């Protein structure tokens, strides 16, 4: 599944061009860099690939969420709806801008359930974040229709789904903006790094300025430091080495996805032998980035039994019902309101008033799905020996 499987001469070439300039910072030093601006080029090519007007590179997928939410004006007193099956970064970013995460159910796509979404909307809802989990698009058309009806912007968390889409349109381009992660285990990687895409020029300019300490980036004769500032910002800048790797990885993305689709189909054929197995709903199979194979067994006991046998045979799957990084009832620090802040923020106000409580049993439909779910990450390179091992494990489980 991760892009590091295909690191090669292309990445080395791009990195070498940066090192030859001696400039790792994405701005300034025009004489030394001799026209080489890797981060800027990465932004332009990523936007083009996604079919949008603008892209803003940042230091991580988590930073992408925070920068996007900040530019959207989300802050204290606001609520943001997202799903209870996602990586912790989705809701960490919501808390970090001062807003409160509101968790909704997932459906058989393992993404935000439109049927539960509308009931979670209040007058305080200022954004909706569907997550295209494990490479498969959410029911984004239905989600967007609900959001539009209430006048609420949609931010697509596309961290795990670069290259995925519906009817030829890329995930991340349906909402007001979309965020991506390029961490070590993502479909394409820069080690760390992230991206935000949008067609809204004003939003893009705000993101560009906020991620660079509020600098307005207006050309001036005095060089960097002479810009004006319309608001305070922070530092979430991507550096040139990451941009260089990103360019090489982006050029390989379609090939990575094609390989994963072949390997996913081979794994699906093996897993299909399990009695009572069913597979995750994929709205548009042609838009699946195929980084994971997700399948359900008839009940939780059978899922655990099968996975125990798979594990004994060297081919255990991921059982997300026990996963502490991605699943709402397992986020013990969220449920307990654990924080380093003496004031209790973001769970308590400065005066000690509790802002929010989370009930571990609040998402029963999601729990009913996750209890039966097993998942195989799909590699870019799947050897015949590994495929044979998984096949033998599945037969043992049968």
pLDDT string in tens for the chain (398-residue length): 688 999 999 999 999 999 999 999 999 898 999 999 999 999 999 999 999 999 999 999 999 999 999 999 999 999 999 999 999 999 999 999 999 999 999 999 999 999 999 999 999 999 999 999 999 999 999 999 999 999 999 999 999 999 999 999 999 999 999 999 999 999 999 999 999 999 999 999 999 999 999 998 877 665 666 778 899 999 999 999 999 999 999 999 999 999 999 999 999 999 999 999 999 999 999 999 999 999 999 999 999 999 999 999 999 999 999 999 999 999 999 999 999 999 999 999 988 899 999 999 999 999 999 999 999 999 999 999 999 999 999 999 99
Classify 254-397 by CATH class: alpha beta
Please name the residues in contact with 106: beta carbons below 8 A apart, sequence gap of 6 or more.
83, 84, 85, 112, 113, 133, 365, 366, 369
Taking the CA of residue 346 as centre, how many other CA atoms within 13 Å lie in the half-sphere pointing to its CB?
20
* Contact of 391 with 314, CB cutoff 8 Å: no
CATH architecture of the domain covering 3-253: 3-Layer(aba) Sandwich (3.40)
* Contact of 184 with 191, CB cutoff 8 Å: yes
- β partners of residue 85: 327
pLDDT given at position 220: 66
* Contact of 381 with 5, CB cutoff 8 Å: yes
Task: Give CA–CA dist 382/378, Å, rounded.
Answer: 8
Question: What are 217's two structure tokens?
Answer: 């980036």
Sort residue 193 into left (φ over 0), alpha (ψ -120 to 50) or beta.
left
The catalytic position among 144, 186, 252, 264 is: 186
Task: Give CA–CA dist 214/212, Å, rounded.
Answer: 6
**79-83 sheet: strands from edge to edge:** 100-104, 79-83, 125-129
Question: What are 185's two structure tokens?
Answer: 């285990």
Q: Do domains 3-253 and 254-397 have the same CATH topology?
A: no
Q: Where are the domains of the chain?
A: 3-253, 254-397
Task: Give CA–CA dist 272/279, Å, rounded.
Answer: 9
186 is a catalytic site residue: yes
Nearest by Cα to 354 from 343, 341, 370: 343
pLDDT given at position 100: 98
Distance from the Cα of residue 245 to its chain's centroid: 19
pLDDT given at position 328: 97
Instruction: Judge if the upstream peptide bond of residue 346 is cis by omega within 30 degrees of 0.
Output: yes
Torsion over CA of 98, 102, 108 and 111, rounded to 10 degrees?
-20
Rounded to a whole number of angstroms, the CA Rg of the chain reads: 22
């Amino acid at each position: 599944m991760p892009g590091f499987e295909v690191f090669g001469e292309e990445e080395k070439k791009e990195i070498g061009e940066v090192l030859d300039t001696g400039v790792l910072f994405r701005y300034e030093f025009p004489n030394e860099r001799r026209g080489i601006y890797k981060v800027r080029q990465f932004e332009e090519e990523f936007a083009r690939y996604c079919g949008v007007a603008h892209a803003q590179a940042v230091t991580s997928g988590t930073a992408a969420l925070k920068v996007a939410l900040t530019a959207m004006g989300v802050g204290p007193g606001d609520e943001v709806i997202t799903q209870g099956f996602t990586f912790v970064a989705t809701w960490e970013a919501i808390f970090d801008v001062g807003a409160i995460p509101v968790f909704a159910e997932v459906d058989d796509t393992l993404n935000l359930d439109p049927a539960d979404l509308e009931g979670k909307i209040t007058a305080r809802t200022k954004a909706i974040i569907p997550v295209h989990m494990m490479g498969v698009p959410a029911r984004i058309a239905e989600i967007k229709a609900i959001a539009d009806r209430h006048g609420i912007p949609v931010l697509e968390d596309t961290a795990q789904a670069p290259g995925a889409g519906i009817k030829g349109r890329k995930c991340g381009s349906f909402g007001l903006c979309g965020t991506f992660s390029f961490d070590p285990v993502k479909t394409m990687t820069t080690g760390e790094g992230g991206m935000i895409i949008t067609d809204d020029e004003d939003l893009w300019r705000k993101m560009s300025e906020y991620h660079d300490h509020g600098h307005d980036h207006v050309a001036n004769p005095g060089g960097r430091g002479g810009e004006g500032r319309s608001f305070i910002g922070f530092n979430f800048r991507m550096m040139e080495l990451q941009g260089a790797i990103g360019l090489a990885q982006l050029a390989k993305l379609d090939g990575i996805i094609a390989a994963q689709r072949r390997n996913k189909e081979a794994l699906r054929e093996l897993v299909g032998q399990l009695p009572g197995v069913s597979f995750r709903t994929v709205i548009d199979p042609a838009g699946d980035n195929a980084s994971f194979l997700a399948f359900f067994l008839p009940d939780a006991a059978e899922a655990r039994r099968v996975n125990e046998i798979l594990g004994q045979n060297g081919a255990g799957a991921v059982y997300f019902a026990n996963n502490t990084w991605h699943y709402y009832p397992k986020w013990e620090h969220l449920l307990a309101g654990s924080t380093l802040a003496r004031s209790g923020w973001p769970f308590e106000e400065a005066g000690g008033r509790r802002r929010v409580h989370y009930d571990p049993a609040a998402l029963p439909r999601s729990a009913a799905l996750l209890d039966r779910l097993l998942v195989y990450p799909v590699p870019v390179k799947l050897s015949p020996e590994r495929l044979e091992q998984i096949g033998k494990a599945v037969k043992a489980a049968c």
